[in-house]
Amino acid sequence: MRLLLPGRFEDAATGYGYTRALFEGVASGEFPAAVSITLSTRHVGVTRKDTFRPGFDDAVRAANENGYPVFVRSAGGGATAADVGTFGFSIVRPNVSEEERCGIRERYDEAAGLALTAFGRLGVEAEVGEVREEFCPGDHSIRVGGYDGGMKVVGIAQRITRRAASVGGIVLVHGEEDLARVLEKVYAAMNLPFRAGSVGSLHRAGYDGGVDEVVEAFAAEAERRYGAVRAPVDGKIIERARSGEGERRVIR
């Protein structure tokens, strides 16, 4: 398995294109399985289901007015927000024989385990569990604190097709106040429950390091777990990432 660390893309459109190109390349057999860890660029990510909700146009307008372009995510869940204080990670594999294929819950457990062990390297205590009225709600969120008053520090989602599967998430290191501000407007526009205090960060949990240090902890854990080898990102993936950007961005 390869370990890919492409850094921060020049814009969120290229970042979304990279995620799609890597997934499709692994699905086709062109590229091997990979753990990818990518620094975020400011944006709001919505699901296809969100695009059909009443108030979606107002949600896009609110995000744009706050400087957050909106993109449609391939994975499920709900709306998320990212900026320079966050990063994403994903474990991408081809779908193999029925005997070897793992299930949805096993993939969630795998991604949560990777994150929690990486946090342990940093001295951050967290656990798997939903928090009340959180963004992109799910029982495999990673939280600090309990359900009622806790905060979410990692959201996990997955994408599955006949040929490949990907599981991963977004890790919040700092900048949670601005993310909460824009998400509050996005969720309100779509009349969905949301509690601003549910948006957490490692800094809010007491960790004082930077994003790069947390990325390195995730990379080290990927090396330990999978024997993943650090490798440059194939130029074909970058080329494909930079094409067709208009298809991914929502413009209202």
Per the CB < 8 A criterion, the answer to whether 136 and 77 are in contact is yes
Per-residue pLDDT tens digits for 115-137: 999 999 999 999 999 999 999 99
- State pTM to two decimals: 0.93
Per the CB < 8 A criterion, the answer to whether 43 and 81 are in contact is yes
Which domains, and CATH codes, for the chain? 2-250 (3.30.930.10)
Per the CB < 8 A criterion, the answer to whether 51 and 74 are in contact is no
Per-residue pLDDT tens digits for 138-152: 889 999 999 999 999
* Mean of all residue pLDDT scores within the chain: 93
Query: Phi and psi dihedrals of 29, rounded to 5?
Result: 90, 5
- What pLDDT is recorded for position 104? 81
Cβ-count burial 123-145 (b if 16+ within 10 Å, e if not): ebebebbbbeebbbbbebbbbbb
- How far apart, in whole angstroms, are the C-alpha atoms of residue 13 and residue 183? 19
